[in-house]
Structure 1
Amino acid sequence: MRGVPVTVSPRRLVALCGVFLLVTSCGWGRAGEGGDDRPPGAPSGVTAEAGSATSVHVMWNAVAAAEAKVSRYEVYRGTTKVKEVPGSEHMVDVTRLRPSTTYVFTVRARDADGRLGPPSREVRATTPAVAKADDDAPTRPSDLRGRAAGNRAVQLTWSASADDRGVVSYDVYQGGTKIHSVGGTQTAAVVTGLRPGTRYAFTVRARDAADNVSPAGATVRLTTAGGTDGRATAPTGLRVTSEREDGAYHLELSWVPPRVDGAVTEYQVHLDGRAATSLVYGGDAPRDRATYRFYVGREAGVTHRVRIRAMLPDGTWGGFSAERTVTTGARH
């Protein structure tokens, strides 16, 4: 058994599911491990945001590679399947919708043997109203800038476009392919799932409620790092304290989740250089500051090294946070 064992009774486990599911490094495995023939799990981190008066951009976190191999993802509007994409993709535009209408979406994963996993949690998006006779496209986004964020991600920023009735969304293109969309109030994005040491070209276009799309702004070319520097995708502001309760010591952790486009729903805690425990949020994952507490023993004066990393929306691990040192029983 690696790390520090964490024992959770079945009753306690059920109670935790509404917030997060606790998984020890030597406890429950993922679906698909050890010859398990169960279908893929439900995709996490699903979000939906209107791209125009007639379209919604749906994103989700890729099912981790340790689970059953995903062949494709299916996107449902209510109970109707409206889109299907390969397992390598985890975003899609649902089109031909009605203006001023609220829609409910879920996502399901299907493996190579055709087994369909359970639906994700439901997410809702409301399309805006469309103004009549709106034929004017927004102005092109200007001042596009970017930088490599480690070896698998880039950070992009740009200046807002102008539109006579308002920008609803910005579309991010890699070469000639649309790869992402953000809301009209956002002027930044983090693109993940890239290859190390690779040169990419990005542009951004603005879209209004009538689906008028601006010309592309200037192209920015970026090369991802060739090493394993994942600092831009690492949790920040990690704090660790030791707390005593009922004669035992626990470590209290808090941190700021990495800023990536998509929800971070899973973290792995390393204790003294080894994976000790993982946590998976079953509901809405925190975006400002996350907290976690786990048992480390009954002996005072034991010094531990702690760091944490996040599972990114593309199904890969981000970089480790800065390491913190804490001693059980020590005054804060």
Structure 2
Amino acid sequence: MPVLRIPRLAALACAACLILAGCGPDERDTQRPPAPAGVTARAGTATSAHVMWDQADGRAGVTGYDVYLGSKKVKAVPGEKHMTDIDGLTPSAAYTFTVRARDAAGNVSPRSAAVPVTMPAPAVDDRVAPTRPTRLVGRADGARAATLAWTGSADDVGVTSYDIYQGGVRIHSVSGNATTARITGLRPDTVYTFTVRARDAGDNSSPSAGAVDVTTAPAKGSGTSTAPADFRAVSVMEAGRRYIELSWVPPRTDEVVEEYEMFLDSRPTTTIRWGAAPPAGRATYRFDAGDRREASYRVKIRARLPDGNWGAFSAQRAVVVDDGGR
């Protein structure tokens, strides 16, 4: 029987091709993300709707979302967003929206549950804004959500929606009949400041309700806290002057923390920043304690996180200013 001899280099090349051909398709990511949950659609004006959904868990690998009006894709949204406005709609018409998630490998989730919305009739020369919402209150729902409630606004034609703002940015909308909203996708152990505005079909917005601060709970387990750790406050004497020296370990975040807010006797008193780059390790800050001897102070700080929100407070320390330092 004749023997077919293959040169060694050619044989190795063939083997490599077989390995690549065999492994490539099997190793490709074919796992579809889950369908987005919590999809809502609210009329913002007579011609625009606000569509929102729950942001996917970070482990799902979602890099974007596609919003569908009926069977037609009308908007693509990056993965860090979980809401969008759809414009150009017809007053008094009924629509149905769905959302699909996409991952980096191009896998697309099943469609979300379909949500209907009926647009209001166009307002006739409506130039009067709704009144300001009042009695805004908020509470944390665990580590990653919050619930807001307020007293509704009045309008000469009718309120079509309430817009929730956080840090000056609209993050959510509910219908004009609602006076509560649940905000999800928040960060544990973080202070969020919310306010609410009413909007009518003429796209007139009310003044903002009084702001409310909500602090989310720390994450369970070994989650990283946003509070400065190992916070210390001591009295020191230098060149005949008395100072209070603070020191702490910065919270661990994705980026360097550049700003802190100091509270003295429960009142915000100063913002702490560095002229150059903030210290990489333990941070210190010293301020003049004044001329009052044996004065007692309570001090605590909190960090402004890279996303612009305030983190949780450090432990509060009591310090007595004396001449000898301690």
Which TM-score bucket, shorter chain as reference? 0.5 to 0.7
Aligned to 1:59, which of 46, 52, 59?
52
Aligned AA (2:36): P
Q: Which residue type is aligned with residue 86 of structure 1? A: P
Unpaired runs of 5+ residues, structure 1, are 1-33, 230-332
Q: Is the 8 A contact 1:137 1:212 kept in 2?
A: yes
**Equivalent residue in structure 2 for 1:220, among 212, 221, 235:** 212
Shift of 1:59: 2.3
Q: Which residue among 130, 140, 148 is the counterpart of 1:148? A: 140
Q: Is the 8 A contact 2:55 2:185 kept in 1?
A: no
CA distance in 1: counterparts of 2:47 and 2:213, whole angstroms: 32
Equivalences, count: 195
Q: Which amino acid aligns with 2:213?
A: R
2:163 partner letter: D
Q: Which amino acid aligns with 1:198?
A: T
1:175 corresponds to 2:174: no
* Partner of residue 157, structure 1: 149
Q: What amino acid does structure 2 have at the position aligned with 1:138?
A: P
Alpha-carbon shift at residue 109 of structure 1 (Å): 1.0
Aligned to 2:22: none
1:21-170 → structure 2 map (5 Å cutoff): 37-67=30-60, 69-170=61-162
User: Take 2:77 and 2:182, find their aligned partners in 1: how far apart are those partners?
Assistant: 22
Deviation digits for residues 69-92 of structure 1 (CA, Å, limit 9, x no counterpart): 110001011233222222233222
Q: Deviations over 1:91-130 (max 9, x none)?
A: 2221221110111211111111223333223322110101
- Give unmatched runs, 5+ long, in structure 2: 1-26, 222-326
Partner Cα separation in structure 2 for residue 42 and residue 154 of structure 1 = 23
1:236-256 deviation line (CA, Å, top 9, x unaligned) = xxxxxxxxxxxxxxxxxxxxx
Please tell me the residue identity of whatever aligns with 2:30.
D
Name the amino acid aligned to 1:189. Answer: A
Identity value in percent: 56
Structure-1 residue corresponding to 2:247: none
Partner of 2:182: 190
Report the residue type matching 2:173 in the other structure. S
Q: Cα distance, 1:135 vs. partner?
A: 0.7
Q: TM-score, normalised by structure 1?
A: 0.54
Question: Under a length normalisation based on structure 2, what TM-score does the superposition of the two structures give?
Answer: 0.55
Q: 1:202 aligns with which of 194, 205, 220?
A: 194
Asked whether the 8 Å contact 2:46–2:122 carries over to 1, the reply is: yes
Structure 1's 148 and 60: CA in aligned 2 closer, same or farther, altered over 3 A?
Answer: closer
How well do the aligned residues superpose, as a CA RMSD in angstroms?
2.2
Contact 1:150 1:228 in 2 (8 A): no
Task: Point out the structure with max Rg over C-alpha.
Answer: 2
User: Structure 1, residues 165-194: CA drift from partner, whole Å, max 9, x if none?
Assistant: 111110000111111111111111121221
